[in-house]
């Protein structure tokens, strides 16, 4: 397994692979890998000749009050997991090499990014789109795998690929959960034992929404209010947002009459967790 640390090294390696006709798969990550990331690697591994995993904590997608400096990092653990998953190359750049000091060109998405995490984290998806575009230009992947856990991000990247004509197939990776139902996340490590138990309410609220719709409830307000009430019963929780939106356009809906994405962001103490599910009728 190769470890490539500069954009120039990565791009030179990718160009050589392209010349030899190899199919390149990319799994972009911010490191501190867990089983959810490994599932994305395995999905990519089955569809490519050369698997590249990027490990890069991307500063522009963090807001001023967010946890950039505290974001967990463990390169040795990440390297070991990548080797076990059959990764061919790890791209592990420094921020100073990825962004010029006077960088002034960014990629914005203006529709899908307006709500959900985009509303709660201004500028976040500008940072995401820009770094993913840079990775596409450096790794030259034929396919890239993104997880369903970050549902809004996934749909924004799909739109970016479509609108900017990137020759990349975006592959959706299914959500991976802990045995008790908590969505896997690098931020879970911040939770105390008590908070870890309290965090299960996210999944419970999503299940409750599915049950209500399964019983015939179609009013979004009723479903949303029931989810909020369930979460707010847990001391120390704060709802950032709970929204039901069209699964493709992410536009708000009043009634559940087609595929609807239910997305939640909740703070458990100071830790912000997200989760989602798709309701079909």
- Above 90 in pLDDT, residue 64? no
**Among 176, 154, 187, CA closest to 38:** 176
Q: How far apart are the first and last CA of the chain?
A: 46
H/E element, 220: helix 220-232
The whole-number pLDDT of residue 147 equals 97
Cα–Cα dist 22/248, whole Å: 32
Condensed to tens digits (0 to 9), the pLDDT of residues 74-97 reads 999 999 999 999 999 999 999 999
Q: Among 66-70, 100-104, 121-125, 174-178, name the one with the lowest average pLDDT.
A: 66-70
Q: Which residues of 83-103 are buried (b: 16+ CB within 10 A; e: fewer)?
A: eebebbbbbbbeeeebbeeee
Q: With a threshold of 0.85, does the pTM exceed it?
A: yes
The sign of the dihedral angle between the CA atoms of 180, 181, 187, 192 is: negative
Could you tell me the pLDDT band of residue 171, with boundaries at 50, 70 and 90? very high
For the chain, the residue count is: 281
Condensed to tens digits (0 to 9), the pLDDT of residues 203-244 reads 999 999 999 999 999 999 999 999 999 999 999 999 999 999
> Which residue of the set 34, 37, 124, 208 is catalytic?
37
Cα–Cα dist 51/269, whole Å: 38
Could you tell me the pLDDT band of residue 99, with boundaries at 50, 70 and 90? very high
**Among 174, 147, 167, CA closest to 23:** 167
For the range 136-139, what are the long-range contacts, defined as Cβ-Cβ under 8 Å and sequence gap of 24 or more?
Answer: 136/26, 136/166, 136/168, 137/11, 138/7, 138/10, 138/11, 138/14, 138/91, 139/10, 139/11, 139/14, 139/24, 139/26, 139/52, 139/54, 139/91
Known catalytic residue at 37: yes
| Partners of 278 in beta bridges | 261
- Above 80 in pLDDT, residue 21? yes
Query: Which domains, ranges and CATH numbers included, belong to the chain?
Result: 2-173 (3.40.50.620), 186-279 (3.30.1300.10)
The whole-number pLDDT of residue 70 equals 85
Which token pair is 92?
Answer: 């592990």
Q: Residue 71 burial (CB < 10 Å; 0-12/13-18/19+)?
A: middle
Could you tell me the pLDDT band of residue 113, with boundaries at 50, 70 and 90? very high
**Among 29, 10, 204, CA closest to 98:** 10
Percent of the chain surpassing pLDDT 90: 95
Cα–Cα dist 105/82, whole Å: 32
The whole-number pLDDT of residue 281 equals 84
């Amino acid at each position: 397994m190769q470890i490539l640390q500069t954009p120039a090294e990565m791009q030179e390696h990718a160009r050589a692979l392209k010349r030899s006709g190899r199919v390149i798969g990319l799994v972009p990550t911010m490191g501190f890998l867990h089983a959810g990331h490994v599932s994305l690697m395995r999905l990519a591994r089955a569809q490519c000749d050369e698997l590249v995993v990027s490990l890069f904590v991307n500063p522009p997608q963090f807001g001023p009050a967010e946890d950039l400096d505290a974001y967990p990092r463990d390169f040795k653990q990440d390297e070991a997991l990548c080797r076990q998953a059959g990764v061919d190359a790890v791209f592990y750049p420094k921020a100073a090499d990825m962004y010029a000091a006077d960088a002034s060109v960014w990629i914005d998405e203006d529709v899908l990014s307006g709500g959900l995490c985009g509303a709660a984290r201004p500028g976040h998806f500008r940072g995401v789109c820009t770094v993913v575009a840079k990775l596409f230009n450096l790794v030259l992947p034929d396919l890239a795998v993104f997880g369903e856990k970050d549902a809004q991000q996934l749909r924004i990247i799909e739109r970016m690929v479509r609108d900017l004509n990137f020759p990349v197939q975006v592959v959706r990776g299914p959500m991976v959960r802990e045995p008790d139902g908590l969505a896997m996340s690098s931020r879970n490590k911040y939770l105390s034992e008590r908070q870890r138990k309290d965090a299960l309410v996210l999944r419970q609220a999503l299940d409750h929404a599915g049950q209500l719709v399964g019983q015939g409830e179609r009013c979004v307000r009723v479903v949303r209010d029931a989810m909020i009430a369930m979460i707010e019963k847990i001391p120390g929780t704060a709802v950032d947002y709970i929204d039901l939106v069209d699964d493709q356009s992410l536009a708000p809906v009043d009634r559940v009459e087609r595929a609807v994405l239910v997305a939640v962001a909740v703070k458990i103490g100071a830790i912000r967790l997200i989760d989602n599910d798709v309701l079909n009728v």
